[in-house]
Amino acid sequence: MIDRLAILGGTGDLSARFLLPALAALRAAGHTGDALRVTGASREDWDTGRYRAWAAERLDRHGGALPAGAGEAVVSALDYRRADVTDPADVAAVVAGEGPVAVYLALPPALFPAAVTALHAAGLPEGSRIVLEKPFGEDLAGARELNRLLAELLPERAVFRVDHFLAMTTVQNVLGSRLANRVLEPLWNSTHIAEVDITWDETLALEGRAGYYDRVGALKDMVQNHLLQLLCLVAMEPPLTLGERDLRDRKVDVLRSVRPLTEHDVVHRTRRARYLPGRIGDRDVPAYAEEEGVDPARGTETFAEVELELDSWRWAGTRFRLRSGKALGADRKEVAVHFRPVPHLPFGPGGKSHGGKSPGGEGHGGEGHGGKGHRGEARPNVLRFELEPEGLALDLTGIGAHAHELVPLSLTARMEPQDLPAYGRLLLDVLNGDPALSIRGDEAEEAWRVLEPVLAAWERGLVPLDEYPAGSQGPPPHWW
């Protein structure tokens, strides 16, 4: 295990909200000890004492129910260096020391190339690793150039492009439920599944993140990485093992199978929008364009939706809808697998045939989050992997109190809390050198390839920037 961690951007929101609590969780669980040293680097004119005081306050705020001793141990392991992360001399001072170091780029994506170039010039001890947050580059060309720079610095196995969604219990349970239960895998194909909705709707608005978000938007912030990773886990062929090669090969296969979107497809199968003033719960939310730090002229979207199809034997004819929005009326974070309806119902006079009716037209958005049908109807089954809070639900139909009367049934399960937060799991993999849950270079490029046509068409204004009131369900659908 590597016992030195350097965080470039050590005073930022990522460090405060996720990395420091993750380190405390690792300490509390006994995964790290006194040998681990952490150096934070940023432009602030601080010393180690001030940095430790700042870190202690952030751990109190974001550390949850972690033991106080674990937080205190992390704080005492911290050092601070004022540094320009694009300057080789400053970076060399940050990573100096005995033995390999893991360097975490907790930075805006636009700084990745300059920071990697500085690391290359500074030099890293043998066995070192580098960690990058999503998005990996800002477009396909940027991702290719970033991969080239990284390849000159370290071998691919030492590069960790992390996506914390992959370390969430329920996300991993998408694979677990598929592959450990014989009842599901025979049905896991387009013959039985009409569509899959991968949704990350949240009531949170901008929450002071304009400096980052206004240059990225919902498509790059959520769809291009997190939601495409969920698509890979839903649609991938069963891997031989969950090792780094097998798992990542199968994910790349899914991305390569995504049917390229034509200009016509982008116009009719994608949506973008941003929120207007509104009320969410007991708080008033200003329009996105009026949030502090936002440049309205950029036309940044806070809602993005993309419909994809896969050209593969297993999934021909199934639709995959990826959606993410901010400042909506309710949190809905789930993968919903919509099965096709039964072809015939022997209830009522002469039976009741449903043919091959897809839930897409009538059902999508109309049956509600719980999937409850009208009494006497058999709604298509829906399997929901609920991501936050973590749970599993299966919507079925059965006979109610009266003979021949169909009623909705729901089987639900709540997942046990994770023993480590998602970032704790990722940091442990970094320190131990296990890249199975990191994004490989070719995978990062394929993810950009999928959405390049969307980015190009949106930039040209071919898809209008719709609007929706904060606290609503988002913009109304317009293609089904």
Q: Could you list the active site residues?
A: 226
CA 99 – CA 198 distance, rounded (Å): 43
d(CA 469, CA 327): 8
Residue 134 burial by Cβ neighbours in a 10 Å radius (0-12, 13-18, 19+): buried
Could you give the residue ranges of the DSSP H alpha helices within 29-132? 48-62, 68-76, 88-95, 112-122
Give which of 322, 149, 151, 332 is closest to 234, Cα–Cα: 322
**77 Rama sector, left if φ>0, alpha if ψ -120 to 50, beta otherwise:** alpha
Q: Are strands 78-82 and 37-42 parallel, antiparallel or unpaired?
A: parallel
DSSP-assigned beta bridge partners for residue 200 = 324, 333
Helix or strand or coil: residue 133?
Answer: strand
Say if CB 46 and CB 80 are below 8 A apart.
yes
Query: What whole-number distance in Å separates Cα of residue 369 and Cα of residue 199?
Result: 11
Residue 107: count other Cβ atoms within 10 Å of its Cβ: 20
Q: Rounded to whole angstroms, how far apart are CA atoms 194 and 338?
A: 6
How many helical (H) and strand (E) elements, i.e. helices and strands, does the chain have? 16, 19
Backbone angles phi, psi at 396, to 5 degrees: -125, 180
Which amino acid appears at position 13 of this protein?
D
Tokens of 48: 């180690």
Cα gap 321→339, rounded to integer Å: 14
Q: CB-based contacts of 365: which residues, under 8 Å, 6+ apart? A: 473, 477
For residue 4, the Cα-to-chain-centroid distance in whole angstroms is: 27
Structure tokens at 466: 């719709």
Tracing tokens 């009741």 back to the chain, one arrives at 352
